[in-house]
Amino acid sequence: MADDNRDHSRRPDPDALLALADKDRRGKLTVFLGAAPGVGKTYSMLSRAQRLKADGLDVVVGLVETHGRGETASLLSGLEVLPRLRVAHRGRMLEEFDIDAALARKPRIVIVDELAHSNPDGSRHPKRYQDIEELIAAGIDVWTALNIQHLESLADLVAQITGVMVRERVPDLVLKRADEVLLVDLPPSELIERLKEGKVYLPESASRAVDRFFRVGNLTALRELALRRTADRVDDQMVDYLKQNAIDGPWATGERLIVCIGSDALSEKVLRVASRLASGLNAPWIVVSVERSDREVVSTEHLRKVETLFRLAEQLGAETRHIIGNDFVDEILKLARREHATQIVIGSPRRHGIERFSSRSLPQMLSRKAAGIGVHLVTPEKGAVSVAAPKAPALNLAMVQRSSIIAIGFVAVITAVGKAIDLFIDLPNISILFLLAVLGASVAGGYLSAFLAAALSTLAYNFFFIEPLHTFTIAAPHEVFALFVFLAVAVVAGGFASRIREQAGVARVRATALQSLYDFSRKLAGTAQTEDAIWLAVSHLQTSLRRKIVLLLARNGELGVAAAWPPDTDLDVTDLAAARWTHEKREAAGRGTGTLPNSRFEFRPLLGPHGIVGVCGIEHSTERLDLNEERSLAAILDQTAIALDRARLAEETVAQAARLEGERYREALLSSISHDLRTPLATITGAVTSLRQLGPRMTAENRDDLLQSIEEESGRMSRFVANLLDMTRIEAGTLKPKRDWIDVTDVVQSAVDRTRKYAPGRVIETGIATDLPLIEGDGVLLGQVLFNLLDNAVKYGGEDAISVYARRDGGDVLISVTDLGKGIPTEDLDRVFEKFYRRGKPDGRSPGTGLGLSIARGFVEAMGGRIHAESPAVKKRGTRIVMRFPAADRSRTEPR
């Protein structure tokens, strides 16, 4: 038992197995990593390619940059090299990697040099590493080369070491997801020697490179970074192997980081430091931005900076979160405890002057309250200018003018009121009136108006109400104290009123957005058709975002525009390519993304519970979507995706129900044919065989019996085929009854006589009113209906008499057929008129196809009548089928 428990606890990690299964479906990425240019990354790639090519492996060179190195270029001999794509860029023709040619060729391995390269404008992807990701997703193995200084998280550190800011960068996530990282190493002294010999750069560039970048100190530091990052990657692979095979080993330490950022200049450094820390600890990390719940974002610039930092964090491999709350410390600690974080990384900018003593900073408050959680402070570089996040919008002349007018207006009105009161009543505390001016100005114009109103109220009160009047001097000392107290109270009260005004504005904006989403949800819930949901979504998005919206759906395997608002919105070739990419990859594409950014639209997938249901395009103007618009957009797209998925499922359900109904009818038809054709055919075949073999020896009476059986079964088959044909006419809509005057008495008598021939032993009673008017219709069809009803009564009505009655009921003529059989259950009174419905089992059942009553309903309704069943009919048993036809209008000479 102990062994069983031990084995159970050492099962492979499911997440690790899922990650392994996902890798098996994709191509493999191999990165040749070096500390600096010239260490031999491309040479190593091509040497290895030559060996595999000799072994018969399909290796193709997509792009290799030799930089004029002859020994490297010689290794291209014998390898298939794809033609380069010529691209016009800023008046020059560039030769770039042709990703479409590689996808069309689809080799086992393709070599694409310079992973950090930036593609020219107009390319499908702005960066080469995104081209490589597409190749990997298509199942192609890729070899590429990268220098350590191009990693995003190391950009600031490399700039500090070398003094050179690297512009072309690769997200750390690319290297982390690589299947194999091969370190190509060369001691700094040998690399410098190669550089001087002209084996790295051309001679005229080599001397500048030695002076600026290729110094021993720089190369040693870069070499250490490359070795450390390769060791971290090997450690990750070892941990994955241990998890996949349930082997006890050096597992990850379980560290988890929370990284706090804002829109200040220090936040970018915080991200890079946190990325290196998370990589060194092999720990997941979450980047958070906290916003106040009682006020809107102070500026779009602040939001833009935060969104830019979030995209950088995602490139570095972090998860991002927006948090809303008033107590920043409490919200951060709640998240840290909920996510089981072990460390919090936060920037600690320098505080100058009175800021050092005015209040505790956010890092200080976190350090004091974060019990059991480490707080890692990131400080700015020495001499760096600390730029704080914007706390309030900058004042402008129009704002000052508006606030001044509001403040002067309220103070002037209150001063006039105070003087009017002072003429009649001597009030010692008339200064309280000026609080109304401050509060009114704060509500109408905000905090600036409140502050100006408080200052003006102080001056007005001094000038008009404190002795000596009409001067700004104060005779009594206690009035000075009262004046300062009044000013302080006015400023505080105005601040509170202004804050309440701001919160009311925020609540109004959010309530409007919430009401808009509620209205959209309510309207969407009432739509059952795909087209209705599509047009509702695009119109609501255009109204909310004030941008052009287009929604595309895949129909017959081709993605096309299903709706657009305004309706004249068109998509060009680039837009359609981005939309198709979004639909195929289920990733955002177009403007503002890493795929086809030259498109005018940003395309986002509509992901429902059962997969992608469509693509939504949002036209990007000069301004990006703000935070509230992003939230509204995400919510509307989610609801639209669910609605479209629901409509699709409803349509599939209807189609499936129709298929099931068709299957049921087909089975019933086959069952009827097998029973109702096989039985008469067997009887006819037996009778014919007997007549042929025993005819001369049979008595005349026996021959007549056999001939009568043949006649009866032939008539039965004829009725069966006639019923099938009649049902086909009804369903095809080709049944067009005549419009003649019909004497119901004649039709009833003819149908009864026909039934008596078919069932000579049954008693059929008739009762027809003498004052029965004519009806308008087709006498042949009405006769067939009556015969079907009588035939049904003969089969299921037992041995008792069958009654046929016809009478007048107001302006209608009623015809009923009644039997005294077992009757029909109440729940089946409507079902008896369905096709192939039978009240019996296939074995031992009463004969019949189950089409008689269905045909009867079709004929009656075609003639403008109605038919229904009643059960029990007489003394709690039996069934009555009642038909109702409008009496003919005898004032007309001809029927319609």
Predicted local distance difference test score (pLDDT) of residue 17: 53
Q: Which residue type sits at 363?
A: P
Of 426, 418, 606, give the one whose Cα is nearest residue 524. Answer: 606
- Rounded average pLDDT per 10-residue block, the chain, 896 residues: 45 56 75 86 89 90 84 86 84 85 91 89 84 89 90 82 82 85 85 73 54 72 82 67 55 73 85 85 85 60 76 83 81 84 84 55 81 84 54 60 81 82 73 75 73 77 75 64 65 68 67 69 72 80 81 82 82 86 83 81 82 84 68 78 78 75 62 60 78 76 78 72 64 67 88 82 86 83 83 82 89 89 82 67 46 76 86 82 83 55
CA atoms of 102 and 489, how far apart (whole Å): 75
Burial class, 226, CB count within 10 angstroms (exposed 0-12 / middle 13-18 / buried 19+)? buried
CA atoms of 667 and 332, how far apart (whole Å): 66
Question: What SS3 state is found at 578?
Answer: helix
Q: H/E element holding 756?
A: helix 744-758
Angle at 735 between CA 730 and CA 740, to 5 degrees: 135
Distance, in Å, from the CA atom of 242 to the CA atom of 248, rounded to the nearest integer, reads 7
* CB-based burial label for 358 (10 Å; 0-12, 13-18, 19+): exposed
- Distance in angstroms between the alpha carbons of the first and the last residue of the chain: 91
What is the fold of 14-244? Rossmann fold (3.40.50)
Residue with the two structure tokens 């998925």? 645
Residue in this structure with the two tokens 């409803």, named with its chain if needed: 650
**Cα 597 from Cα 578, distance rounded (Å):** 9
Dist. CA 268–CA 246, nearest whole Å: 39
Tokens of 76: 């291209």
Cα distance between residue 593 and residue 577, in whole Å: 14
The beta strands (E) that lie in 609-685 are given as 611-619
Buried/exposed code over 600-615 (b: 16+ C-beta within 10 A; e: otherwise): bbbbbbbbbeeebbbb
Interatomic CA distance for residues 814 and 805, integer angstroms: 8
Nearest to 296 by CA among 509, 462, 542: 509
Please spell the DSSP secondary structure of 174-198, one letter per residue.
Answer: HHHT-SEEEEE---HHHHHHHHHTT
Do residues 751 and 790 touch, judged by C-beta distance below 8 A? yes
Torsion of CA 306, 311, 315, 316, to 10 degrees: 10
- The helix/strand/coil state of 479 is helix
Write the CB contacts of 282 (distance below 8 Å, at least 6 apart in sequence).
232, 235, 236, 239, 252, 253, 255
Q: Which residues pair with 866 in a beta bridge?
A: 884
What single DSSP character describes residue 118?
Answer: B
Q: What is the pLDDT of residue 61?
A: 92
The whole-angstrom separation of Cα 253 and Cα 343 is 13
What element of type H or E holds 714? helix 700-732
Cα distances (Å, whole numbers) of residue 565 to 243, 533, 538, 550, 631: 51, 14, 6, 6, 20
* In the chain, domain spans: 14-244, 257-350+357-378, 397-503, 529-653, 677-733, 735-886
Are the CB atoms for 752 and 789 separated by under 8 Å?
no
Task: Look up residue 877 and give its DSSP letter.
Answer: B
Judge whether 14-244 and 529-653 match in fold: no
Angle at 40 between CA 39 and CA 45, to 5 degrees: 145
Burial 835-854 (b: 16+ CB within 10 A, else e): bbebbeeeeeeeebbbbbbb
Nearest to 187 by CA among 140, 147, 163, 222: 222
Of 520, 515, 516, 512, the C-alpha closest to 642 is: 520
- Position 6 scores a pLDDT of 43
Closest alpha carbon to 618 in 565, 694, 660? 565
Distance from C-alpha of 204 to C-alpha of 207, rounded to nearest angstrom: 6
Contact indicator for 257, 271 with CB cutoff of 8 Å: no
> Which tokens hold the place of 284?
């997941």
β-pair type (29-34, 180-184)? parallel
Q: Which CATH class is domain 257-350+357-378?
A: alpha beta
Q: 681 Cβ partners below 8 Å, 6+ apart?
A: 713, 717
CA neighbor of 643 nearest in space, from 567, 551, 747:
551
How far is it, in rounded angstroms, from Cα 586 to Cα 579? 10
pLDDT for res 7: 47
CB 765 within 8 A of CB 801: yes
Between 3.40.630.20, 1.10.540.10, 3.30.450.40, 3.40.30.10, what CATH number should domain 529-653 receive?
3.30.450.40
What's residue 390's pLDDT?
Answer: 46
Task: Tell me, rounded to whole angstroms, the distance of Cα 265 from its chain centroid.
Answer: 34
Let me know how long the chain is: 896
Q: Give buried/exposed letters for 747-774 (b at 16+ CB in 10 A, else e).
A: bbeebbeebeeeeeebebeeeeeeebbb
The CATH code of domain 735-886 reads: 3.30.565.10
Closest CA to 867 of 852, 883, 854, 886: 883
Contacts (Cβ under 8 Å, ≥6 apart) of 840: 846
Cβ neighbours of residue 701 closer than 8 Å, sequence gap 6 or more: none
Encoded tokens for 136:
């990997």
The predicted pLDDT at position 726 comes to 62
Res 388: pLDDT? 46
Strand-pair partners of 813: 808, 885
Pair 430, 482: CB distance under 8 Å: no
- Report how far residue 320's alpha carbon sits from residue 327's, in angstroms, rounded to the nearest whole number: 20
3-state helix, strand, coil in the chain (%, to 5): 55, 15, 30
Give the whole-angstrom CA distance, residue 114 versus residue 41: 10
Residue 25 CA to residue 405 CA, distance in Å, equals: 69
Contacts of 306 (CB under 8 A, 6+ apart): 261, 262, 263, 289
Which residues, 6 or more positions from 315, have their beta carbon under 8 angstroms from its beta carbon? 152, 171, 172, 173
Which residues partner with 111 through β-bridges?
Answer: 61, 143
Nearest to 64 by CA among 40, 46, 86: 46
Whether residue 111 contacts residue 143, with contact meaning beta carbons closer than 8 Å, is answered with yes
Nearest to 368 by CA among 330, 416, 425, 422: 330
Check whether the bond before 872 is cis (ω within 30° of 0): yes
* Pairwise CA distance, residues 144 & 30, whole Å: 6
